[in-house]
Amino acid sequence: MPSQTTLSRRAPRRFWGWGQADATLDAREQATVKTLTEQLEVPWSERPVPQVHEFTLPPPRMAAPTALAAQFSAAPLDRLNHSAGKSYADLARMWLRTPPAPPDWVAYADDEQAVVDILDWAQAHNVAVIPYGGGSSVCGGVEAAVGESYAAVVSLDLERLNHVLEVDPVSRAARIQGGTLGPELQAQLKPHGLTLRHFPQSFEFSSLGGWIVTRAGGHYATQHTHIDDFVENTRLVTPAGVLQTRRLPASGAGPAPDRLVLGSEGTLGVLTEAWVRLQQPPRFRASASIRFSDYFAGADCVRALAQSGLNPSNCRLLDPLETVFSGVGDGRHAILVLGFESADHPLDAWLGRALELVRDHGGSYDAGAVARSLAAQGGDEHRSGAAGAWRDAFLRMPYWRDPAVGLGLVMDTFETATTWDRFASFYASIKADVGAAMERATGQEALISCRLTHVYPDGPAPYFTLIARGDAQGSVASALAAWRDIKQAATAAVIHHGGTVTHHHAVGRDHRSGYEQEVPPLLRQMLAAAKQVADPTGIMNPGVLIDPVGRSVGIRGGHGCAGPRTESLGQNSALAHVNIA
Amino acid sequence: MPSQTTLSRRAPRRFWGWGQADATLDAREQATVKTLTEQLEVPWSERPVPQVHEFTLPPPRMAAPTALAAQFSAAPLDRLNHSAGKSYADLARMWLRTPPAPPDWVAYADDEQAVVDILDWAQAHNVAVIPYGGGSSVCGGVEAAVGESYAAVVSLDLERLNHVLEVDPVSRAARIQGGTLGPELQAQLKPHGLTLRHFPQSFEFSSLGGWIVTRAGGHYATQHTHIDDFVENTRLVTPAGVLQTRRLPASGAGPAPDRLVLGSEGTLGVLTEAWVRLQQPPRFRASASIRFSDYFAGADCVRALAQSGLNPSNCRLLDPLETVFSGVGDGRHAILVLGFESADHPLDAWLGRALELVRDHGGSYDAGAVARSLAAQGGDEHRSGAAGAWRDAFLRMPYWRDPAVGLGLVMDTFETATTWDRFASFYASIKADVGAAMERATGQEALISCRLTHVYPDGPAPYFTLIARGDAQGSVASALAAWRDIKQAATAAVIHHGGTVTHHHAVGRDHRSGYEQEVPPLLRQMLAAAKQVADPTGIMNPGVLIDPVGRSVGIRGGHGCAGPRTESLGQNSALAHVNIA
C-alpha cells in the first residue's frame, strides 16, 4: 500500500501553479491581476484553487521495485506535482481539473546508485523514466503522459542529489549534483566566495541538471549567455551505462562530448553531476536606464553594443508595451536596461563608451539614473533603478500568473533568436502573425510585447509576452483553446520568419513541430541513432525532443502540444534510404 | 590515360614539406638550422630534396567516373601532394622516399554538385573519400592510406570552392565556401571592411572547412578561441544527403547541430559552406612584453588575467626555452606577450588594469615596450616588439623545419589543455615524462619547451615544442623511430596527467590512442551510430577519429600513428550489450 504522504523533503510546492504552496500575492500584485481582468473584460472573482482531493488518480500499474520501495512514492500530491511542468497549458489543465496522466510512481533517488538501479529496473520492465529536477519546464519537458507503449511511468526526482561535492578555488569551478536548485547551489558556494551567476527566471525552482539538459539562458545578456558556456564536464547515467566526460577548460578532440548532453532534455539519461565554471561575485557595477522614443533606434543601439566588445552583463531592450507589463515604464518609450559588472575592475571606461554609443543612437537618460557603484560585500542582491524594478517584476511574474490563469486569462511567453539583418521585419512579422491569431482566437485587440533578453554580435534573442482572454465569461477551457491556436501560430511564425523555435526554453513537447522544421531530418536521425546507443529500449523521457527509434510514443489527448506532428522520424523521412532502426 | 599535369590551379606546393614549392630560407633561417645541427651534434650538409620522379606510384585501381573525369587527376605530383599532411612523420617519410600509399585519384571538385556526385559514385563503388582543404593536418587527418577494405581511394580537394558567397554587413557575417584558404578569405572580405580574424599557424595553407571540422584554434588567446565560436551554420554534403543547419546567432533547441559537425574531421561528410561571424578590423591596440624570472609566477599572472574579464586578445606565456626557440628571448626569463585590440574603443583602461595584475605577480617590463596605438587604416599587419617578432617566427617556423627534418632532426609540437589547479604539476610531469622518453630515444638531453597559446578562466592550453635527433649520423629513419617513441610518450603523458589529447590540432590518426582514453566508449559509440546515419557504408575519411561500424579499417605500415590501438569500437567494447551494428 503506497504511502499517502509526500516523500519530498523540500518545502511543499504548489502542484497547480508556481512556487511554494503557501506563496501569497501582495496587494500590488493582487491589484495587477484585477487590472488585467478589467482591461480584458473578464469578471474578477476568487475562484477556488485546485485541491488534491478533487483529482482521482488511477492506482500505479506496477509495483515499485522492492529494494527501492522506500524511495518510491505514490502519494497523490507527489504524483500530481510530477504530472507536468509549469507552462500556461499545464496550469490551465490543473484549473480545469484535467491534468495529463500522472506518473505511476515518483522516485526520490537517494544517490546516483539509486538512479542507476532505477534505470536498470525501468529498462527491464518497460517503464518510462521522466527525469525531474525542479519541474519548471514551460514546454512540456517533464510530462508523465507518454502513451500506451510503456507498462508504467516513473518520474525520477533528483531533489536528494543537491550537493556541491567539490570546489576548486584555483580554477574556479565546482563539481555539483544535478538536482541542486539555484538557491541551494548559491548557498553552498557562498562560503567559498564563489558563484555560478546563472539566474534564469526559474532560478528558485530549477536545477543545475535541468539547466544543462535544456541549455538554459542565464544571467549574462552578452558573451556567455547559455549554461553551455559554463560546463567543464558532465556525468550522465544512461540505461546503457554511466557516461562521464573529462573535466577540461577546452578541447578540440572530436565533436565536443558535452554538447551532445547539453540540450538532450532527459532523452539520453539522467544528469547526476557536472563540473561548472564559477566566478567571484561582482564588486563593481555600472548601470544606466535609457529611453528610446523609436524602438528600432534602440535595437540599433543594442546591436552596436553587442558588436562593440564591451560585453555588458545586462543589455535588455524592452519595447513600449513590455515596459508596462514589467512595471518600469508607461508605454511611451522603449527602455534599455544596461549594466556592467566585474569582480576585478571599475567600469567607468566601459560604461562611458557604452553611453557614447547610446547617445549616437538617440538614446536619452537622466544623469541620476546612471549608477557606478562598489557593491557591498557579497552584494549579489545590490540592485537599484530600472534594473532592480525590472528584476523584481521578472521574478515575481510567475506568482501572479497563477490566479490570472484561473480567471480565464492566457498569459504566456515565447522566445527565439534571429540575425540582425532580418530583425526589424522579424519583429514586425511576429507581432502581426501572432497578433492576428490572438485576435481571431479572442475577438480582442492583441496585447503582445517584446524584450531582447540576450544579444549577440550577429543577432538578438527576442522574448515575447502575450496576454489574452478566452471568452467574456473568463472560461479557462476557452482560454486553453485560444492558447492552442495562438501557440501554434507563434511557433509557425517564428520558424517561418527565420528564428529558432527556442533560444533557452528547450523543445520539450510543445516546440516539436517547430524543431522538426528547424533541424534537418538527417541530423535528427543522427541524434536518434546516438540516443539508441544510450537508451536502447527508448525509456528516457519519451515524447520529448526526439522519438525513440522503433517505438510508438503517444501524446495523450489534453496536452497542449501546439501544431500537428508533421513527421515521424524514421518512418516518414525525406531520407527513407537511411535505415537507423 | 591520366594526365601527368597537375589539375591544381594554385601556386605549386612542396609535396615533401611546407608551403609553396619555390619557398626559400633567408640567411638567418639557414643559420638557425645549422646552429641546431651543431647543438644536437649531427652533421650538416645539403641533402637532396625529394623529387617526384623518385617515387613509383601504382596505377589507379579504378577508372575515374566518366562524367567527372575532367575533375579527376592521377598526376604523380597531385597524388604525392595528397598522400598525407604536414606532420613531422609525414615529412620524414617523404625524405625517406616511403610515404604512405597515395590516393588513386585526386578529385578537384568544380562545385558542390560535383561533391555530391563524387560521393554518390564513391558510395556506389566502395571508394574511400578523403576530404582535403589545405592539407596542413599535423595529426594524420588527410592521409590516403586506408587499408584493403576499399576498392580505391579518392582525395577530394576543395580548392575550387574558395569563394565568399554572401556578406551580411549588418549582422557582420558571411557565407563562405569550405575550400577557401585563409588569405583568399581575407582578401575577399577586405572590400567589405570585415575580417574573420582567425589566424592559426597554418593560416596560408588551411581552409575554412578544415578549420571547422578540426575545431581550429584561432587568433584570440582568451574568450573566443576556437573557430567553433564563430560558426553560425554549416552545410555538409554527406553520403546520405545534404545537411544544412539554420543560420542563427544562438539557439537552445536540442543538442547544438553544428557542434556535431565541428570536430567531425571529414568522417561525416564534406563541409561545402558555412556562415561565419565577422568583425571590423581592430583600430586600437595596446600591448606589452613582460618578463617573469619565475615561470610559475608568470602562469599565476596569466590565470589572473584570464579570470579578470579583461579578455586580452593576446596572452601568450613563453617559458624560458621557448623564448629561445621563438627568437624573442635568451632563455633567462619567461616572457608574456600581452595584447588588447578593439575596433570600437581605446584600450588604456584595459591595459592599465592588466599591468596592475602583472606587477602584482612580479612581472617586469620596460616602459618602452608598452605600446598603445591607433592602427593605420586596414592595419591588420601592424605589429611591433616581442609580439611582432614572435608572430614572424611563428609563421616561418614550418619553413625551416623542412631542411631540419631532412638532416635527421625531430621537430614536433603537441598541445593540450588542463585546469589551473593541476597546471604546475602537469607542466612538470609532461616535461619529465616526455623528456625521459626523448633521452631514452636519442641519448641526448631533452630540448622541450612550452608556451601557453590560449587561456581560459579555468585553465590554460599549453603548447609544447620539442627538438631532438635520431642518431649521430643524422639518419632520418632513426629520427622517425625516435619520434614514434616520443610521440607515444607525449600522448600517454598528456592523458595520464589529466589533459586533453588535443586542444586545436584535431585527433586524426595520430591522437586516436589518446582520444580513445579521453572520450568514453559509450560516447564514441553514439558518435559512430550518428556517423552511420550520415555515412552508411563508411567511406568518409576512414582511419580518422572514429571507425565506421562493421568495417575493418587498416592503417598501413609506415604511418607514424603513435601507440597501439587499444580498442576497436563496437567489437571490443566495455559495453558489449549495446549493439550499434
pLDDT in tens, A517-575: 999 999 999 999 999 999 999 999 999 999 998 887 765 333 433 333 333 333 323 32
In this structure, what DSSP letter does residue A294 have? S
Minimal-distance CA residue of chain A relative to B170: A421
The Cβ of residue B331 has, within 10 Å, a number of other Cβ atoms equal to: 12
Instruction: With CB atoms and an 8 Å threshold, state whether B170 touches A421.
Output: yes
| DSSP-H helix ranges across B280-347 | 295-307, 320-326
Q: Hey, of B170, B237, B244, B517, which one would you mutate to test binding to chain A, going by the most A CBs within 10 A of its CB?
A: B170
Residue A329: what pLDDT? 87
Q: Is the pLDDT of residue A201 over 70?
A: yes
Which residues on B lie below 8 Å from A536 (Cβ)? 578-579
Q: How close B419 comes to chain A (CA, Å)?
A: 6
Euclidean distance between CA atoms B277 and B231, whole angstroms: 6
Which amino acid is present at B579? N
> Who among A225, A250, A505 is closest to B417 (CB)?
A250
Euclidean distance between CA atoms A395 and B402, whole angstroms: 63
Which residues on B lie below 8 Å from A498 (Cβ)? 246-247
Which residues on A lie below 8 Å from B519 (Cβ)? 245-246, 253-254, 257
Using CA atoms, how far residue B234 sits from B23, B176, B181, in Å, is 34, 10, 17
Residue A423: what pLDDT? 98
Q: Hey, is the C-beta of A527 within 8 angstroms of any chain B C-beta?
A: yes
Strand B152-157 and strand B164-168: pairing?
Answer: unpaired
**What is the total residue count of chain A?**
581
Instruction: With CB atoms and an 8 Å threshold, state whether A309 touches B255.
Output: no
Which residues on B lie below 8 Å from A456 (Cβ)? 249-250
Query: Which residues are registered as beta bridge partners of A424?
Result: none
Which amino acid is present at B485? D
Minimal-distance CA residue of chain A relative to B533: A526
Which residues on B lie below 8 Å from A313 (Cβ)? none
Positive or negative: CA dihedral B322, B326, B331, B332: negative
The Cβ of residue B44 has, within 10 Å, a number of other Cβ atoms equal to: 14
Q: How close B318 comes to chain A (CA, Å)?
A: 20
Instruction: With CB atoms and an 8 Å threshold, state whether A228 touches B255.
Output: no
Using CA atoms, how far residue B443 sits from A391, B325, B439, B452, in Å, is 67, 21, 5, 28
> Are the C-beta atoms of residues A76 and A5 closer than 8 Å to each other?
no
Regarding pTM above 0.80, the answer is yes
Euclidean distance between CA atoms A536 and B526, whole angstroms: 11
> Are the C-beta atoms of residues A107 and A36 closer than 8 Å to each other?
no
Residue A387: pLDDT band (50, 70, 90) is low
Indicate the SS3 state at residue B532: helix
Which residues on A lie below 8 Å from B527 (Cβ)? 254-255, 530
Instruction: With CB atoms and an 8 Å threshold, state whether A240 touches B503.
Output: no
Residue B564: what pLDDT? 34
User: Closest Cα partner for A568 from A555, B567, A104, B344?
Assistant: A555
Euclidean distance between CA atoms B204 and A89, whole angstroms: 56
Euclidean distance between CA atoms A395 and B207, whole angstroms: 47
Residue B553: what pLDDT? 79
Residue A5: pLDDT band (50, 70, 90) is confident
SS3 content of chain B, % helix, strand, coil (to 5): 35, 20, 45
Q: How close A255 comes to chain B (CA, Å)?
A: 4
Which residues on B lie below 8 Å from A350 (Cβ)? 349
Q: Hey, is the C-beta of B513 within 8 angstroms of any chain A C-beta?
A: no
Residue A367: what pLDDT? 81
Instruction: With CB atoms and an 8 Å threshold, state whether A456 touches B257.
Output: no
Backbone angles phi, psi at B241, to 5 degrees: 140, 175
Instruction: With CB atoms and an 8 Å threshold, state whether B457 touches A419.
Output: no
Q: How close A297 comes to chain B (CA, Å)?
A: 14
Query: What is the rounded average pLDDT of the residues A370-399?
Result: 64
* pLDDT tens per residue across span A19-76: 999 989 999 889 989 999 999 999 999 899 999 999 999 999 999 999 999 999 999 9
Using CA atoms, how far residue A337 sits from A289, A313, A320, A331, A388, in Å, is 5, 10, 13, 15, 10
> Who among A226, A348, A536 is closest to B252 (CB)?
A226
Query: What is the rounded average pLDDT of the residues A181-207?
Result: 96
Strand B270-277 and strand B231-238: pairing?
Answer: antiparallel
Minimal-distance CA residue of chain A relative to B459: A249
Instruction: With CB atoms and an 8 Å threshold, state whether B580 touches A420.
Output: no
Q: How close A499 comes to chain B (CA, Å)?
A: 7
Exposure of A56 by Cβ count < 10 A (0-12 exposed, 13-18 middle, 19+ buried)?
A: exposed
Which residues between 243 and 262 in chain B have a beta carbon less than 8 angstroms from any beta carbon of chain A? Answer: 243-257, 259-262
Using CA atoms, how far residue B422 sits from A169, A418, B221, B243, B408, in Å, is 12, 40, 20, 40, 35
* pLDDT tens per residue across span A249-269: 999 999 999 999 999 999 999
User: Closest Cα partner for B437 from B419, B463, B412?
Assistant: B412
Residue B386: what pLDDT? 62
Q: Is the pLDDT of residue A377 over 50?
A: no
Instruction: Name all domains of chain A by residue range, CATH numbers in brackets.
Output: 284-377 (3.30.70.3450), 396-496 (3.30.300.330)
Q: Hey, is the C-beta of A355 within 8 angstroms of any chain B C-beta?
A: no
Which amino acid is present at A524? R
Which residues between 418 and 457 in chain A have a beta carbon less than 8 angstroms from any beta carbon of chain B? Answer: 418-421, 454, 456-457
Which residues between 227 and 246 in chain B have a beta carbon less than 8 angstroms from any beta carbon of chain A? Answer: 228, 232, 238, 240-241, 243-246
Instruction: With CB atoms and an 8 Å threshold, state whether B526 touches A260.
Output: yes
> Who among B226, B344, B575 is closest to A240 (CB)?
B575
Contacts of B35 (CB under 8 A, 6+ apart): none
User: Closest Cα partner for B482 from B517, B430, B447?
Assistant: B447
> Are the C-beta atoms of residues A222 and A458 closer than 8 Å to each other?
no
Q: How close B135 comes to chain A (CA, Å)?
A: 18
Instruction: With CB atoms and an 8 Å threshold, state whether B545 touches A254.
Output: yes
> A478: part of which helix (H) or strand (E)?
helix A476-496
* pLDDT tens per residue across span A227-251: 999 999 999 999 999 999 999 999 9
Cell of B377: 587604416
Instruction: With CB atoms and an 8 Å threshold, state whether A214 touches B252.
Output: yes
Which amino acid is present at A76? P
Which parts of chain B sit beneath pLDDT 50?
Answer: 1, 376-382, 556-581
Q: How close B58 comes to chain A (CA, Å)?
A: 33
Residue B268: what pLDDT? 98
> Are the C-beta atoms of residues A326 and A317 closer than 8 Å to each other?
no
Instruction: With CB atoms and an 8 Å threshold, state whether A344 touches B248.
Output: no
SS3 content of chain A, % helix, strand, coil (to 5): 35, 20, 45
Instruction: With CB atoms and an 8 Å threshold, state whether A249 touches B461.
Output: yes
